[in-house]
Structure 1
Amino acid sequence: MELTWYRKGTIYQIYPRSFNDRSGNGVGDLKGITEKLDYIKSLNVDIIWLSPIFSSPNDDNGYDISDYCAIMDEFGTMSDFDELLSETHKRGLRLILDLVANHCSDEHNWFKGAKKSRNNKYRDYFHWVDPASDGGPPNNWKSFFGGSAWEYDKNTEQYYLHLFTKKQPDLNWENPEVREEIYNAMRFWLDKGVDGFRMDVIPLISKRKGYPDAPDFGFRKIIEDVYANGPRVHEFLREMNQKVIRKYDAFSLAEGIGVNQELAGLYVNEDREELDMLYHFDVLECTIVNGKFEEETPFDLVNLKSIFKKWRDAVHGTGWITNAMGNHDFARLVSRFGNEGKYWKESAKMLITMLATQNGTLSIYQGDEIGMTNVNLDSIDEVKDVQSINFYKESMESKKYTSIEAMKLINKEGRDNARTPMQWSEDINAGFTEGEPWLKINDNYKTINVKRQDNDSNSILNYYRNLLSIRKENDVFIYGDVEELDFNNNSFYGYRKSFRGKGIMVLLNFSDKNYEYMSSWEMSMDDVLINNYDNIIMDKEKIKLKPYQAIVFRLSD
């Protein structure tokens, strides 16, 4: 397996609205990102992924695009983008954009035209279906954000499909003109020098003929069997690769929603010539059964190990994946999987050690490098996320949850947790803006911020920097054959890796208690590549791990 630049690279995801505001309007912007490029470079990451920056009415914070070749007014101008791209490349970094090709905004000119009449030239850019015999929606499909996935248009007396909000109509990829529109938009940005795309919900672009009703089982299964992996998805992706991606020094990263490990190779195996890599949801949703605010299961470390192993085995030697445990759609990494209290620092370091030593490209999300945590929103008036707002409204209407219960669930799993503004300093508004921030800033910003950690050698921030530097110099962190250690242990995660004559052993304590591990090798301090504590207690083969301790040993040939 060739370790190309995009496979070896570490991705740093930026949610522009919440990163850094230079204009003073309370919303992060492109100039704000440019201002922080030296900081980003200092993290030892390689690729910047920007969540959508295109023109949008922001019903879903940019994932509803009204012009694929224009910049959102709140974020700046095209010249601001050109400067950002140039300055990014000057620092030896790459930049990828978030391509939303399954749907657009209902304020896009395509949809405005499509609504005018059934004969409009843009009508077939979308999915229009006659009402059912009772006048209702054509089938029982539900939106990801609650309610029906169909919206009735009185003017033309048909329903249109929107798997997300009603202001995000799904594009009809069966129409070759639609595909060419998307390809032209991709070429526009690639010709500017962009280094690739993260592709939002791309497995959903091919719809099943006849729009059959969804079976009566959990929503995650419906996504896999009904919404994703449609009959022509691989044909479309192969065409996209042939006509666009392969003609540039660029790569494609798919959001693998609805894709399980059995199907992964169809998307990312090299001989398929479709996508360069994907990130899956099995880790991100390992405690979620059928919906973010519905059934939950307790965190199970053995299950997490199984997920990593299944996905590693699914593409080993044939394809590639990206590993992420945090992004803009999920609650904060350390709040979900670590310990926000006594072992906040240790658990944050342990989690990134685990991620950075898994096979595949590493993706980290802004703020996780300083251990940002979930926020406490006091009422629905403070919530900005459309998914959480819709859940709250449905809960009040159905009386399934009280307002207190609904807010508790939103504060635990809602997307606003990951979208609170970046905490740069102890200054007002965490140094994010001089204006009124678009979303509440976490109250803990005076103790958790970049400035406080920057010169602290023991900080989470400097641990990330050190770990990612070591990762750059050791390909075995990125890829290799893996031997699991004590696999069924639910508080300890250990494994050995080997690649091209180099080896490492990774030991991770996932508990708040000491754990003693007996190694089959006699280890010494000289073998330690990185350790998230000041010291290690060991006696030859016996290694005593402190709560949430993470150690990576170098193994001799």
Structure 2
Amino acid sequence: MTEHLWWQRGVVYQVYPRSFQDTDGDGIGDLEGVRRRLDHLVELGVDAVWLSPIFPSPMADFGYDVADYCDVDPIFGSLEDFDRLIADVHARGLKLILDFVPNHSSDAHPWFAESRSRRESRKRDWYIWRDPAPDGGPPNNWMSNFGGPAWSFDEASGQYYHHAFLKQQPDLNWRNPELRAAMAEALRFWLDRGVDGFRVDVIWHLIKDEGFRDNPPNPDYAEGQPDITRFTQAFSADQAGVFEIIAEMRKVVDDYDERVLIGEIYLPVERLVAYYGPDLSGVHLPFNFHLILAPWNARRLAELIEAYEAALPIGGWPNWVLGNHDQRRVATRIGPAQARVAAMLLLTLRGTPTLYYGDEIGMMDVPVAHELAQDPWERNEPGHGRDPARTPMPWDGTPGGGFTTGAPWLPIGDPAALNVADAARDPRSMLALHRALLTLRRATPALSVGAYEGVPAEGDVLAYRRRIGETEFVVALNLGHKPARLEFGESRLEALLSTHLDRMGPEPAGSLALRGDEGLLLRLR
């Protein structure tokens, strides 16, 4: 274990601050709320807290439109609140990871105000400005991830500026060395305050095609899909020059002891692993979202795990994610029973897992009517909103769920039906399962940093071994609702944990029986 860094051994827990704990009654979570709930994370057994953006922002995209990279938005508190939070995080033996949003700023950022003030502005080139096409329209066919063209026209200067997301989120020009230096200083500002690392938003977008060529049409596009899928992003993202930029970020982070750089990357496995960088000079962890995106099918997942393990560069550390603020919750995608199996999968695969707040109690998406939508994507392209996965954490069964004494910024669902306090008293709850899994993972190096080896299985069963030296475990997961069996020779197995939380002890040799929706963690005796 001492040969591995904390971010290799540990488990990351994502907090969406707006929805975690409100302490001032405005219905929006804050930093003091995160601080007051740290004991929950300690009891759960995670190792690091990742905060979604807390920077000053007009909140057009809820903090992913940054107006100042070196401060805290008053909605969440102050720098003093942040300092108290990080001190308490470290006092509890935890780490703190900040969300960093370098692809774009807010249009309210002083940098952009200066950039758009005139063409001769010294910060004009800090953003991406282009002349209109010959017909007066946008410079090319690039589409915004939130619908419509990725270009907005500035009447005063007669040019378009690029925005991969909202028009209020102009993209920064990472080919400009002054911009790069300013961003490095922003990273150092937080590292000097003790931050243990960064999750870098849409890192594969940072460099665009130098010629701004049109993206090719997507042959698989169908009506009703988001606008962004009309074209393949061949020239608007995942460009070769991005690795030089990431290497510079990595050098800044590496100037501090044991800090981690994580990149948000939605790309196929073969492109994803490129973001470890030449000679591992890239991000430490290119986020692997394929458990979210893949069909919940044992054979497909087995192939995915093997392909990912095979694609990793020598020395590259794997990671796995089941949920985040941009995706439907895992219990909604595959159902509450299979969400328990998924938890065992996430927390026993080789590599660093990331948990999304609320998944440890089995939270599901909370319906949010279109007319009540907060998410700009939902307002622009109905049916694609992310609000249902961002709703407040239900801490207890009171009407405000223990989250707020005011009106919550998003509906809180039915806290009487599912909440942390009740789950903590239930020995077979989803929370109890997570605590048990995390306890075993922490006590058992084979489950966190040991070798991975697939076990042949059929039908709905996914199985694999985890091993360090003579210590060996088997994980057997039934991804179906009906009973299944795993043929396992004559090895003698001892069940340590079932996702049903009712099965321990020696198992008969030769064939392992799994109930529907059951996962088993076993030790070879």
Quick check: 1:462 aligned with 2:432?
yes
How far the C-alpha of 1:481 sits from its partner, in A, is 3.7
Distance 1:222 1:478 in 2: 40
Note if contact 1:330-1:417 (Cα within 8 Å) is conserved in structure 2.
no
**1:462 partner letter:** A
Q: Indicate the residue corresponding to 1:531 in structure 2.
A: 498
- Tell whether 2:278 aligns with 1:278: no
Task: Quickly say closer, same or farther: Cα 1:252–1:553, change in 2 above 3 A.
Answer: same
* Alpha-carbon offset, residue 225 of structure 1: 2.9
Classify the secondary structure of the residue corresponding to 1:553: strand
Within 5 Å, give how 1:260-339 maps onto structure 2. 260-268=268-276, 271-286=279-294, 299-315=296-312, 317-337=314-334, 339=335
Within-5 A mapping of 1:186-197: 186-197=187-198
CA contact (8 A) 2:8 2:449 kept: no
Provide structure 2 residue ranges, at least 5 long, that are not aligned to the other structure.
221-227
Q: Report the CA distance shift for 1:270/1:469 in structure 2 as closer, same or farther (over 3 A).
A: farther
Of 276-285 and 145-154, deviating more is 276-285
| 1:395-417 alpha-carbon deviations (Å, 9 max, x no partner) | xxxxxxxxxxx4xxx5xxx4112
Matches within 5 A, 1:344-359: 344=336, 346-359=337-350
Of the three residues 375, 378, 384, the one matched with 1:388 is 378
| Counterpart Cα distance in 2 of 1:36 and 1:86 | 14
1:92: which partner in 2? 93
Q: 1:496 to 1:521 in 2, by over 3 A?
A: farther
Residues 296-316 of structure 1: per-residue CA shift (max 9 Å, x gap): xxx433222222221122116
Q: Distance in 1 between matches of 2:212 and 2:297?
A: 37
Higher mean displacement: 115-124 or 314-323: 314-323
**In 2, distance between residues paired with 1:174 and 1:555?**
54
Range with greater deviation from structure 2 (228-237 or 3-12): 228-237
The alpha carbon displacement at 1:29 in A equals 0.3
**Residue pair 1:270, 1:319 contacting (<8 A) in 2 also:** no
Aligned residues: 514
**Contact kept? 2:188, 2:252, Cα under 8 Å:** no
Between the aligned partners of 1:362 and 1:471, the Cα distance in structure 2 is 11
Q: Secondary structure at the match of 1:320?
A: coil
1:515-554 correspondence to structure 2 within 5 Å:
515-524=484-493, 527-533=494-500, 534-535=502-503, 539-554=508-523
Give the secondary-structure state (helix, strand or coil) at the position aligned to 1:225. coil
Task: Kindly report the root-mean-square deviation, in angstroms, between the aligned alpha carbons of the 2 structures.
Answer: 1.9
Q: Any conservation in 1 of the 2:71–2:79 contact (CA below 8 Å)?
A: yes
Q: In proportion to residue count, which structure has more helix?
A: 1
Determine helix, strand or coil for the equivalent of 2:394: coil
SS in 2 for 1:42: helix
| Equivalent position of 2:412 in the other structure | 441
Letter aligned with residue 467 of structure 1: L
- TM alignment of 1:137-176, pairs within 5 A: 137-176=138-177
Residue 475 of structure 1 and its aligned partner are, at CA, apart by 2.2
Tell me how far 1:449 sits from its aligned partner.
Answer: 0.4
Output the amino acid matched with 2:171.
D
Residue of structure 2 in register with 1:257 after alignment: 266
Gaps of 5+ in 1: 288-298, 393-405
Deviation at 1:229?
2.1
Query: How many Å separate the matches in 2 of 1:208 and 1:242?
Result: 24
Q: Is the 8 A contact 2:18 2:29 kept in 1?
A: yes
Write the deviation string for residues 123-154 of structure 1: whole angstroms up to 9, x where unpaired. 11000000001100010001111110001110
| 1:291 counterpart residue number | none
Query: How far is the alpha carbon of 1:223 from its aligned partner?
Result: 5.9
Structure-2 separation of matches of 1:198 and 1:483: 29
Shift of 1:59: 0.7
2:402 alignment partner in structure 1 = 431
* Matched letter for residue 318 of structure 1: G
Aligned to 1:64: 65
Tell me which amino acid in the other structure corresponds to 1:455.
R
Q: Equivalent residue for 2:473? A: 504
Equivalent in 236, 240, 243 of residue 231 of structure 1: 240
CA contact (8 A) 2:216 2:234 kept: no
2:105 counterpart SS class: coil
Shift of 1:6: 0.8
Q: 1:282 to 1:347 in 2, by over 3 A?
A: closer
The one of 242, 251, 272 aligned to 1:242 = 251
State the one-letter code of the partner of 1:67: D
| CA contact 1:270–1:318 (8 Å) conserved in 2 | no
Q: Is the 8 A contact 1:129 1:138 kept in 2?
A: yes
Shift of 1:220: 6.3
C-alpha separation in 2, matches of 1:106 and 1:269:
31
The correspondence for 1:417, drawn from 388, 392, 412, is: 388
